Structure 1
Amino acid sequence: SGGLHGVGASVVNALSEFFLARSWRDGYEWTQEFSRGKPKSGLKKGKPTRTHGTMITFRPDPDVFSKTHFSYKTILAVSESKAFLNKGLKITVENKRDGEKPVTFRYNNGIQDYISRIVQGTTLVNQEPFYFEKEDDFKIECVVHWTIATDTEMHSYANSINTSDGGTHELAMKAGLTKAVRTYAERRNLIPKNIKSISPEDVYEGLYGIISVLVKNPQFQGQTKEKLNNPEINSPIDTAVKNACEAYLLANPTMADAVVKRVLLAAEARLASRAAKETVTRKLSSLKMNLPGKLADCSSNKVEDSELFIVEGDSAGGSAKMARDRKTQAVLALRGKILNVEQVASLEKIQTNNEIKNLLATLGCGVDQHFDLSKLRYGRVILMTDADVDGAHISVLLLTFIYRYMPGLISHGHIFLAMPPLYKIAAGKETFYAMDEMEKEKILAKLNGRKFDVGRFKGLGEMSPDILKETTMSPKTRTLMKVQVVDHKATGKVFERLMGKDPKARFVFIKERAEFAELDI
């Protein structure tokens, strides 16, 4: 898996009431059992064996986790990506909890099968992808399709670890592709006079690609391993990809001409939008410091330390403003539900919506093509809505807008959902809070017949500032849910079906999942 923060196994061990490690190596089976990070036995040498491998069995500590939930979809997605990245490797996932049939992944063509999956339903410019593989001091494997789409979708990996922020390997690959396309276009005199030169962003537009490298001593930037930083692989990858892509283009002239035509269309669009962008920038600069009146800003200027809570309504906004830490926590109160952007085609119309205008002015990082993450004013953007279905609807509307027009906020880990309680349970001098019906029932079961009173919060505005701070806003006691996207294509389709204009698609979507719905009556 590659671990996380360098402490993956040790943290799982520490937070498990039961942890068993079994390893088959050096001709024997070896076992050791732990509980909450402490050994329950020494390392035991078992029977002789020819088997090789490791098995970890663990059970999360219920004293730490009030709810234990493993995302089966996430486990499947990660397992499948490992199978794609290691051609011929067989991985089986079995969910015994729900009694589902085991799922087996095996891809003999590796990332070529992966790219075929990614571009499904997309119009391709080059029907046969550019594929390249080489192994010297390190191994590189990459595959690329150009499409008529206006976005770019790159998946980069180092030692089978997803480097979501790219890094040296991805930059070098893109540089090599740019040089190859530019050289081919110049040799064939395909570049018109109004386009002085093909830029990297022209080559990237509509590009769907995968790069995977195996490096002996990977240097990751940050503990979450989201970016590779091995400068010694930059030049070799750049040169190798350039030479291989040039050979690919020369061997497929008809396809190559289509790729260049696609790149030149992107260049023309870039030049045409530059003047418009400068006009918009001038207009925005005059509005830069006009922050909305509904914003109670924080005093800290450090982006990494500051948080923005987005709430709905003046009542919730009032409670949140009193509960916050004025130094690091800002509160923006929206009036009612924001526009459903999935049903509005024009960004210009979307930006006339007052609540969206207030949101954009508060965040400060622009939208769509003008999005600039470096201008984001807060390190965490927390959607804090009521714990009922109305609150969930508002959160989905906000997420729809962010996913469609500010996806960088999600991909860089800035969007979170607050987890306010729905129930308050008083038993004698003790008070408990539950986020949903299931957690409420667990708490009641632990009371062992003691007298109790259960209250249901109608909304955030009904909570006192002290309760709101303790349960939902204080970093010391709250629970936040980080918003992440595992499969962009599948996520996009969910928003389209659930929030789009087609009522039939929405009905079918809800009907398919009706058995999983929680009624909030």
Structure 2
Amino acid sequence: MAYTANQLDVLQGLEAVRKRPGMYIGGVSSAGLHHMAWEVLDNSVDEAMNGHATEITLTLHKTGDTVSVADNGRGIPVDKNRKTGKTGLELVLTELHAGGKFQNDGEGNYKTSGGLHGVGASVVNALSKKLTAQVKRDGNEYKMEFAKGKPTTKLLKKKGATRGTGTTITFTVDPTIFPKTQFNPETLKGRLETVSFLHKGVKVNFVDEVNGNKATFQHHNGIADYLNQVLKERNARPIHDAAFGFEKENGERVELVLQWTESTDEHIRSYVNGITTAAGGSHENGFRAGLTKAVRNYIDTHKLTPRGVKITHDDIREGLVGILSVFIADPQFQGQTKDRLNNPEVQAMVDGALRPALEQWLNNNSSVAEQIVARIIAASRARAASRAASASISRKSATNKLTLPGKLSDCSSSGRGDSELFIVEGDSAGGSAKMGRDRAHQAILPLRGKVLNTESANLKKVLDNKELSDLVTAMGCGIGPAFDASKLRYQRIILLADADSDGHHITTLLLTFFYRHLKPLIDDGRVYIAVPPLFRIDIGKETHWAADEEDRIRILEEANGRAKPEISRFKGLGEMMPKVLWETTLNPKTRKLLRVEIADQLETDRVMSDLMGKDPSARFRFIMERAEDAEEIDV
């Protein structure tokens, strides 16, 4: 076919958003769906951030796919724009890059803002089946409706005078864009509470009509209260009483609060103008640089480093829990999803603000400083021991194939290619898998019993566990400081456990291990969960395989009484014939695999800490809150 100008498409207005929604909200998954709510919420937060609003209310309506965000700010302008002849409200909701957040000459309406791209409201409008905007300002109330980004009514003015000011945006997501349209009330609620922490004094309300609940958040201590909540959520025990915190404002503002704990990992939550920056950026780089310099200067000045101990930046930050929030005039985010800050000047700004403040705090609180330094030295010694153990395992795995675990049935292919490592529950299931597999490309490693819960385990304890040590050796990529993804011996790592509750528990333990100690493999899309059948259903001459109870019911309903079904339930993979295991679970053409992905880093971390951490009260709370959802318990 000839390639001419006739093959070029020009998308008008918001057509591009509907054609490629992933460019604007990161995708149409659950994360993209909730990003719609965040875009509208951020506009109300911008009003509060700049002193124009004191209260924000988000309502999840009964249908579950409709959200309203209301604030008592100034209200979106409704007068006509001289350049376009359109009202300000229509411009904001129908044109990309239209808004009052672009002026940076000192005379703009927003000193700081989370919505400087100017596409948020219009993108939400474009991806909504219906959107209604209500504005109160200048003693009047106005209303305008839209569908899929286009106006369906003119700007309507309500008769009679109206008190107060503000904006309410109500939108219903478009089911032709989003495969799942139901918002998660807990996700919305968590974001709203975070907003109240980051903007102290602002009243934030959540109305959950789906479950008939209401909540109000208001934190006058700001991120200091937030730190206390994060410590409780993570069950992280501080090693010193007083947290370090400071605020510095010089045109732009830096807020920081942190505390060292007994945990073995670092946990920093960072924000720019109230926007979560899960991927970090220049402000986090400045934080880490300033922290390391301040602590090193204190240690060196007081000559506290023991002989033979080499302290690294990882040792200094181990166990650190902190909240960093910066407010700047012109944030440059990486992409519309705004999960990383790119402003290079912010690194120096945060570094310069933090270093002298932390050094002074350490010098003024010598007893606390001594506790922190002792914790850092202990971390350095433990890391050295773990590094030696990890290097030993890495050397063994790299020496030759004879050093691989004896119970590993490796594949015969020499390169990584399409090779797969199945981590199987028990020797019995391992035997069936070994006989049923594709020997050229599929390796089988059976693990005995339930592996170590690694949520709170340090690297040395992990490596002392034979089952996990064998797994690390089989994969060949090392762990901890010796980790090298390029040395991974397989294209895919597949967790294969029974389809019952014990199997789910073992899978959860393995997921905890990968998440806490080999997370780059998850990030790179290397870790999968196999879905073996729990039921075999014979209907006449047809055989069906059901992964769970819900799947079984669906198959029976589809059969619609054609013949009397014969149902058998597998006790475990070990009782499956090798041929059946191949057809249902191992064969790439017929099997079902679930790739392990992290949609929300903070939520994943919280759930993992709650369910696998040392604090039983978090699990008890989780069970009690969801007890009514359990129709049948497999015991």
Short-chain TM bin: 0.7 to 0.9
Q: Determine whether 1:359 maps to 2:471.
A: yes
Pair 223,417 (structure 1): closer, same or farther in 2 beyond 3 Å? farther
> Structure 1 residue aligned with 2:277, among 148, 151, 163?
163
Displacement after TM superposition at 1:235 (Å):
1.7
Equivalent position amino acid for 2:477 in 1? C
Task: Confirm whether residue 341 of structure 1 aligns to residue 459 of structure 2.
Answer: no
8 Å contact kept, 1:84–1:111: yes
- 3-state SS, counterpart of residue 132 of structure 2: strand
Structure 1 236/378 Cα, relative in aligned 2: closer, same or farther at 3 Å? farther
Q: What amino acid is the match of 2:291?
A: L
Q: Secondary structure at the match of 1:341?
A: coil
- Counterpart mapping for 1:474-485 below 5 A: 480=595, 482=597
Number of aligned residue pairs: give it: 495
**Superposition pairs for residues 117-196 of structure 1, below 5 Å?**
117-120=229-232, 122-136=236-250, 138-195=252-309
Q: Which amino acid is 1:204 matched to?
A: R
**Partner in structure 2 of residue 20 of structure 1:** 130
2:197 counterpart SS class: helix
SS in 1 for 2:603: coil
1:49-68 matches, within 5 Å, as 51-58=165-172, 61=175, 65=179
Partner of 2:113: none
Contact 2:528 2:594 in 1 (8 A): no
Alignment of 1:432-511 (within 5 A): 436-438=548-550, 441=553, 451=562, 458=570, 462=580, 465=583, 469=588, 472-473=591-592, 480=595, 482=597, 486=603, 488=605, 491-496=608-613
Q: 1:423 to 1:369 in 2, by over 3 A?
A: same
* Secondary structure of the structure 2 residue equivalent to 1:342: coil
Cα offset, 1:174, TM superposition: 1.3
Contact kept, 8 Å, 1:340 with 1:401, in 2: the verdict is no
- Which residue of 235, 250, 263 maps to 2:376? 263
Letter aligned with residue 130 of structure 1: F
Instruction: Tell me the TM-score normalised to structure 1 length.
Output: 0.73
Name the residue aligned to 2:214: 102
Question: Residue 235 of structure 1: SS of its match in structure 2?
Answer: helix
User: What's the CA shift string for 1:66-124, capped at 9, x where partnerless?
Assistant: x876544433333333332232333333443334x223322222211111122345443
What is the CA-CA distance between 1:142 and the residue it aligns to? 1.5
Match runs of 1:277-296 below 5 Å:
279=392, 281-286=394-399, 293-296=408-411
User: Given that residues 485 and 491 in structure 1 are in contact (C-alpha distance below 8 angstroms), is that contact kept between their aligned partners in structure 2?
Assistant: no
Question: Do the aligned residues in 1 keep the contact of 2:477 with 2:483 (CA within 8 Å)?
Answer: yes
1:113 equivalent in alignment to 2:225: yes
Structure 2 match to 1:206: 319
1:82 to 183, 190, 195: 195
What whole-Å deviation, never above 9, does each CA across 1:223-266 have from its counterpart, x for those lacking one? 76554333222222212211221232233333334333433444
- State the one-letter code of the partner of 2:505: H
C-alpha distance in structure 1 between counterparts of 2:329 and 2:292, whole Å = 27
User: Deviation per CA, 1:161-211, whole angstroms, max 9, x where unpaired?
Assistant: 43334332212111111211222333334344545x753223212222121
Q: How far does residue 353 in structure 1 lie from its aligned partner after superposition?
A: 6.4
2: CA distance, partners of 1:261 / 1:409: 33
Q: Partners in 2 of 1:238 and 1:284 — Cα distance?
A: 41
- The structure-2 alpha-carbon separation of the partners of 1:470 and 1:385, relative to structure 1 and needing over 3 Å to count, comes to farther
In the alignment, which residue of structure 2 is the partner of 1:6? 24
Question: Which residue matches 1:239?
Answer: 352
Distance 1:42 1:311 in 2: 57
| Bigger Rg, which one | 2
Q: What is the deviation of 1:362? A: 3.9
Deviation at 1:341, TM superposition (A): 0.6
Distance 1:363 1:450, change over 3 A: same
- SS of the residue corresponding to residue 453 of structure 2 reads helix
Secondary structure at the counterpart of residue 335 of structure 1: strand
Whole-Å separation in 2 of the counterparts to 1:281 and 1:442: 47
| Residue-by-residue CA offset, 1:292-324 (whole Å, 9 max, x unaligned) | 64344888758xx987654553445666649xx
Gaps of at least 5 residues in structure 2 are: 1-20, 37-64, 67-126
Distance 1:94 1:384 in 2: 42
Can you list the C-alpha shifts for 1:450-487, whole angstroms capped at 9, x where unaligned? 747766774776366388646644xxxx6646356626
Which amino acid in structure 1 is aligned with residue 356 of structure 2?
Answer: N
1:185 alignment partner, SS class: helix
| Aligned-pair CA distance for 1:371 | 4.5
Identical aligned residues as a percent: 36
- TM-score normalised by the chain length of structure 2: 0.62
Q: Is the 8 A contact 1:83 1:110 kept in 2?
A: yes
Question: 2:131 is matched by which residue type in structure 1?
Answer: A
Distance 2:619 2:392 in 1: 39
Query: How far apart, CA to CA, are the structure 2 residues paired with 1:419 and 1:185?
Result: 53
CA distance in 1 between counterparts of 2:329 and 2:413 reads 45
What is the aligned counterpart of 1:47 among 157, 166, 170? 157
Contact in 1 for aligned 2:424/2:447 (Cα 8 Å): no
Taking structure 1 as reference, are residues 248 and 75 closer, same or farther at Cα in structure 2, changes over 3 Å only? same
